[in-house]
A = this chain, B = another copy of it.
Amino acid sequence: MSRATLRDVAKLAGVSVATASKALNGQPQVRAETRERVVRAAEQLSFSPNTLAQGLITQRSGTVGLLTSDLEGRFSIPILMGAEDAFGSDQTSVFLCDARGDTIREKHHLRALLSRRVDGLIVVGARPDSRPSLGELPIPVVYAYAPSDDPGDISLVTDNVGGGRTAVDHLIRCGRRRIAHITGDPGYSAAQDRARGALDRLAEEGLELSGGEVWFGMWSEAWGRGATRMLLDRDPGVDAIFAGSDEIARGVLDVLHEERIDVPSQVAVIGFDNWSVLAANSRPPLTTIDLNLEQLGRIAAQRLSAAMEGHPASGVETFPVRLITRESTAPLR
């Protein structure tokens, strides 16, 4: 199976290439009967137009680059999927590049993408902290998840403060009053922001944090277990725990279970990320905060399309997160 060119189609249909092109592209200046002949010829040869040649003329490659830093991470994938299906697959294809967190590899990929004449670029960071801007480029760029440090760029991020607030709000609505917060690495803005949202909401209610402080540590189950033990020592009367990630929440659940403390009747637990393999299969299944990353990806694609159409934007847009209710939280009876 080899590739037919438009010339082959034209020859088979007995017309010129120009006419063949117009016939296939729905241009009006071609008789219906002629068009029909061309279309049949194209089908017969299973012709498909060479997008490279088209791109050369139209100055549009119909491709975008997606530059990520953590493919194996769980954040870039949903964004990528959202972006992929916001661009109709017929119109735009996406080049995937993983820089593995390495700046020179990133530069390398960037060169390659520019040379491929991508029409735009989505940059997905590995963590929500801001990252260096790529600077001025001949094509539009949208930063997703991790914002650019240049406010002139377009950045799309999730609302971690709002997420922390939502989590605590949910616990309060469940009638909990002694709420603790166990979270990950304090060097992550995600940890700081979620904690801030939580504290804000507590303050509104006139509540103090159970345990007296935010338990910063690591994004791991082990830390969730360790922190929970310390917390139970310090405040045995705790009635809810907001975990900064689902991994941490798993550790929390594990220790509570071990201590024969019932979830949710004695202590409610809420996670963060809605990483479903962890959250949906725990005992009990975990109430958590979903980051809406697919949506973030879709919007990134839309913003990029708009910019490519000549409607640029700038600044950081923050997108709301979503509460996913499962069985690890419930109203106090």
Contact = CB atoms under 8 A, between A and B. Distances in A.
A28 to B, nearest CB: 24
Interface stretch (A73-81, A161-169, A227-235, A306-314): A73-81
A157 to B, nearest CB: 21
Interface in A45-66: 48-53, 55-56, 61-63, 66
B222 A281 contact: yes
Q: How many copies does the complex hold?
A: 2
A51 B116 contact: yes
A136 interface: yes
Contacts of A8: none
Chain A interface size band reads 35 or more
Contacts of A259: none
14 contacts: A3-B138, A51-B117, A53-B56, A56-B56, A71-B77, A71-B80, A72-B78, A89-B105, A89-B108, A89-B112, A93-B112, A94-B95, A221-B282, A251-B281
Given A52-B55, A71-B81, A72-B78, 8 more contacts: A48-B111, A48-B115, A49-B115, A63-B116, A71-B77, A90-B108, A221-B282, A222-B281
Interface of A: 1-3, 48-53, 55-56, 61-63, 66, 71-72, 77-78, 80-81, 84, 89-90, 93-98, 105, 108-109, 111-117, 136-138, 220-222, 225, 247, 250-251, 254, 257-258, 275, 277-278, 281-283
